[in-house]
Structure 1
Amino acid sequence: MRIELLGFLALVVGAGVLVSPPRLAFYVIVFSTLFGAAAAFGVPGLGGASVLIPSLLLAFYCLRLFMAYGEKPVLAAVSSASPGIWLLLLTIYGVFSALFLPRLMEGVTETMIVLRSSAGHRIIDLTPLSFSSNNITQTIYALGGLLCFAFTYAYLKSGGAARDVINAMLFLGIANLVFALLDVVTYRTGTAHLFDFIRTANYALLTGAEKAGFKRISGTFPEASAFAGYTIVLFAFTASLWIDRMRTAMSGLISGLLLLALLLSTSTTALVSLAMVLVFLFWRALPASYGGHATGRPGAIALAILAVPLCFMLVLVLMPEFAKAVQEFLDETLYSKLNSQSARERMQWNAVAFQVFLDTWGWGAGLGSARASSYALVLLSNVGLIGAVLFALFVGNTLMMKNAGGIQEHTTMRAAKAGVFAGLCEAMISGTVYDLGLLFFILAGSASALRWVPAKAKGRRPRAVEAAQ
């Protein structure tokens, strides 16, 4: 087993977390989610599968919070009063499916899975259903997501505050932008190798791609689409804060720059997800804009939406050469996307995944047994109809919760739910595996915890909160 430089540093940071206040543990786990292509070490017994930096630090995060608060708030996170109960049931079924379904249904269908070799090579191929290392790795990721949700919930219920979530996410947004800028600068100056120390995972790295003359931003991730999927969550969170007038200057600036980074990533998934997120934010801003203490910004959002076609027409008239470059960019990004080899390959994955769902009579092939290009089909092909229903109940309950705390708790919960919605949109369009990443579960845990009335905020809710709901 070879430990990477960042893996060694993560062990040092993790050891420091164990003797530091729980608040530091929360900030560390949030920041660690940025390193989506950084391996701490590889596991040869699992075909060279990488243990990522966030997964390693998650163990220290959980241990530190358990030392501080014990098991009671963690169990409350998965009780019948929390959306976490559905995530717990989904994880239990997922673990059961990973251990037994590939063996019980061995050979009844063919699935698309990642095949790893001890030398670190990875290919995606159609193979007969059987138990593989993917069942183990996805089970570990599923358990990690559950623990991340539960301990984040426990932290915010026991000692954390809404401002911790806001501070951590704003800092994360800034860090993501800095790494995105460095990615472009190092590529243009021929020094991209300086980023090699954070791109050590056993993934196919597509960090030097261009589209219509634009460098596809990948930041700290293995490819532009992964960067875009992460950035859309940060944009939704910060844009929601700006709409609700929370730290307006900083949240507005960061969300605007994240929006620019999304567009420059040239990811089709990002553009489609962005449209869905903007509609969600606009729809949610409307009811918050009425009453004595209006908090929404539907006017600003509507003006921005109307300004886009007007600016585009102005560019067509004044800058025809630039307009031509934009047309080529849109053609490569959107119009010709369905005819690309990548799109045909992903449609084949989806067709195979749906056939797996049918061939296994709706039970699924087991967590980690199938790959698709849409999270809905990932669920159906891996954990079947039961797992898909449990996931829908978990997400539905998380997004539909009402807040009973103060203004800061209210706006933070709304921002966290916007981030969960954005992550879900991206996954439904191009998600390939069950794992949604730790950031998704941090935000889901935050939203679930902040629905409760803090002890210092009990009593009548502020008018602004009542008007916003």
Structure 2
Amino acid sequence: MSWPAAVLWILMIGAILSRGPNLLYLMLIAGAFGSLQMLPFNGGVNLLPQSACAALFVGKAMVQRGNIMRGIESALDSQRMILFSAFVGYAVFGAVILPRAFLGLFEVVPISAPISGTDILRPGSGNITQSCYIMLSYGTAVTLSVVGHSAAMRMHYRRALLWAAYVLVLSGVVDLVTYTLHIGAVLEPFRTATYSFLVDVESEGSKRVVGLMPEASTFGTACVGLMASLVFLRPFYKKGPEHLLVLAAIALLGMMTILSTSSTGVVGLGVLSLVYAADLVYRVFDPYNSRRAELNLEFVTLFLALFAVFAGIIIKPNLLDPVYTMIDGLIFEKTKSASYAERTMWTRIGWQAFLDTGGMGAGLGSIRVSNWAVSILGSTGLFGALLMFGFIAQQLLTMPRGARKEAAVFATALKLSLLPTLAMYLVVATIPDIGVGVATVLGLIAASHTPDTLPGSSATSRPAPANGPA
């Protein structure tokens, strides 16, 4: 075990023994350490810091009086977790049964085999580890659906996001500085997971920033995910220094995404821009929208940004040539790369596994693809896909029942912030697991359906901010 892992274990133990939501802060901050092994051995199984924090967070929350029963109620609630509960139950059952039912009948790209290329379908350690990962994400979502309905918890979540954003930015700066000074070995204690690392790759003559992640794509995706959360939750932060810190974090995360030169990150930025533009137009034409007070400031900012770009182009016509070159290399030339060909092969074989099983799937943890939708179809079949996509659609589209205005407004902002991450998942996600970060957001959205009769629900009675999202 490396010294950063030991330090994180000490911090987690301290957070368990302390009062308050310190584990929530640590869980979101730990997302920046995406290549750190927390186990004292490397046996092919990786326990990342965020997963370890999430497990402790779930355990600490559920031992509180009454939370187990409230968790069961949420898990079986038709407007909260019932579809996710059914998906996890079916996926774990399929991880045991399906690889044995279709043993050796077709080829797959194994998720856990120590070889490259394809192999025949067979049970493996991936079925166990992926089942554990999806159950951990499920437990995180259920826990947040129980404890996330209070105004205090929403406040702590927002602050934890801001901390996580600056830690992620700092990791990118450290990665860039150590590479420039040729002291990259300093970060080796943070890169102990049994992954294939791509940390010293250059693109167009510049370093691809990876932070403390295994590769630039993972780092860029994390930056966009946090950036989207801060963009849409921005109205809930206090005016003054905290609000300025949020704006600075948004700008820094956008800069880090560009420095990562991640094509997935570029796609995420594009989706974030489209979602923000659609929300902006909606607020313009909705006279009752509670965020209309910020429209003037937003339009002035956008106008100044566009004016600066056009003025720069007039002064220096080739100003945007490096941008065009980068976008061309990341998006249009991507189809000619070896990694694109390999990932396309993964997805094609995963889709064929879905067809070869008659739509039943090869089992959770049996296949590796590069598309989240195909991963779910190829792993859990049509039934599992209906449950998972039905759960996400339900949380994104349904209105909170009986929730106070602030809780409903907060849930809407969370829904908007989730769309760029889901879009990036469709491009690169290799497994069905939604991850702790997305599970946290979905759990908080589901918490908005918590009946006001539950303990602590009165905390949501605080009036919504005048500039909250619609």
TM over 0.5: yes
Q: 1:189 to 1:415 in 2, by over 3 A?
A: farther
Deviations, residues 265-308 of structure 1 (Å, cap 9, x unaligned): 21111111221122122223444453366415566666777777
1:136-285 equivalences under 5 Å are: 136-157=128-149, 160-242=152-234, 247=239, 248-285=243-280
1:35-46 equivalences under 5 Å are: 35-41=33-39
> What is the aligned partner in structure 1 of residue 108 from structure 2?
111
> What is the aligned partner in structure 2 of residue 95 from structure 1?
92
2:463 is the alignment partner of 1:456: no
Q: State the alpha-carbon separation in 2 of the partners of residues 310 and 468 from structure 1.
A: 27
User: 8 Å contact 1:363–1:385 — kept in the other structure?
Assistant: yes
Q: 1:307 to 1:106 in 2, by over 3 A?
A: farther
Q: State the alpha-carbon separation in 1 of the partners of residues 81 and 348 from structure 2.
A: 31
> What is the aligned partner in structure 1 of residue 440 from structure 2?
442
Code of the residue aligned with 2:91 in structure 1: it is: G
Q: State the alpha-carbon separation in 1 of the partners of residues 462 and 187 from structure 2.
A: 52
> What is the aligned partner in structure 2 of residue 59 from structure 1?
55
Q: Which runs of 5+ in 1 are unaligned?
A: 117-121
Code of the residue aligned with 1:262 in structure 2: it is: T
2:118 aligned counterpart, secondary structure: strand
Q: State the alpha-carbon separation in 2 of the partners of residues 308 and 340 from structure 1.
A: 34
User: 8 Å contact 1:6–1:198 — kept in the other structure?
Assistant: yes
2:287 is the alignment partner of 1:291: yes
Code of the residue aligned with 1:150 in structure 2: it is: V
Q: State the alpha-carbon separation in 2 of the partners of residues 182 and 127 from structure 1.
A: 39
Code of the residue aligned with 1:420 in structure 2: it is: L
Deviations, residues 179-199 of structure 1 (Å, cap 9, x unaligned): 111111111111222222221
Q: CA deviation at 1:206?
A: 0.8
1:51 aligned counterpart, secondary structure: coil
User: 8 Å contact 2:407–2:460 — kept in the other structure?
Assistant: no
1:434 aligned counterpart, secondary structure: coil
2:108 aligned counterpart, secondary structure: strand
Q: Which of 354, 366, 375 matches 2:372?
A: 375
**More off after superposition, 410-419 vs 200-209:** 410-419
1:113 aligned counterpart, secondary structure: coil
Output the aligned Cα RMSD: 2.8
User: 8 Å contact 1:287–1:468 — kept in the other structure?
Assistant: no
**More off after superposition, 334-343 vs 26-35:** 26-35
Deviations, residues 414-467 of structure 1 (Å, cap 9, x unaligned): 3322332222111011111122321111111112113445633677976959x9
2:429 is the alignment partner of 1:431: yes
Code of the residue aligned with 1:183 in structure 2: it is: D
2:52 is the alignment partner of 1:50: no
User: 8 Å contact 2:291–2:466 — kept in the other structure?
Assistant: yes
Q: How many residues of Structure 1 are paired with residues of Structure 2 in the alignment?
A: 459
Q: State the alpha-carbon separation in 2 of the partners of residues 287 and 356 from structure 1.
A: 42
Q: State the alpha-carbon separation in 1 of the partners of residues 63 and 15 from structure 2.
A: 11
> What is the aligned partner in structure 2 of residue 119 from structure 1?
none
Q: Structure 1 or 2: larger strand share? A: 1
Q: 1:309 to 1:214 in 2, by over 3 A?
A: farther
> What is the aligned partner in structure 2 of residue 359 from structure 1?
356
Q: Which runs of 5+ in 2 are unaligned?
A: none
Q: State the alpha-carbon separation in 1 of the partners of residues 97 and 378 from structure 2.
A: 15
Identity of aligned residues (%): 23
> What is the aligned partner in structure 1 of residue 407 from structure 2?
409
Q: State the alpha-carbon separation in 1 of the partners of residues 266 and 24 from structure 2.
A: 31
Code of the residue aligned with 1:105 in structure 2: it is: F
What TM-score, normalized by structure 2, do the two folds share?
Answer: 0.89
Q: CA deviation at 1:377?
A: 0.7
Q: State the alpha-carbon separation in 1 of the partners of residues 58 and 267 from structure 2.
A: 35
2:77 aligned counterpart, secondary structure: coil
What TM-score, normalized by structure 1, do the two folds share?
Answer: 0.89
2:110 aligned counterpart, secondary structure: strand
Q: Which of 25, 28, 52 matches 1:30?
A: 28
Code of the residue aligned with 2:96 in structure 1: it is: L
Q: 1:95 to 1:115 in 2, by over 3 A?
A: closer
Q: 1:26 to 1:82 in 2, by over 3 A?
A: farther
Q: State the alpha-carbon separation in 2 of the partners of residues 226 and 42 from structure 1.
A: 24
Q: Which of 374, 385, 396 matches 1:399?
A: 396
Deviations, residues 133-167 of structure 1 (Å, cap 9, x unaligned): 11111111011111111112222247952111111
1:175 aligned counterpart, secondary structure: helix
1:383 aligned counterpart, secondary structure: helix
Q: State the alpha-carbon separation in 1 of the partners of residues 139 and 322 from structure 2.
A: 47
Deviations, residues 214-243 of structure 1 (Å, cap 9, x unaligned): 321111211110011111111111000236
> What is the aligned partner in structure 2 of residue 336 from structure 1?
333
2:46 aligned counterpart, secondary structure: strand
Code of the residue aligned with 2:334 in structure 1: it is: K
**More off after superposition, 406-415 vs 101-110:** 406-415
1:125 aligned counterpart, secondary structure: coil
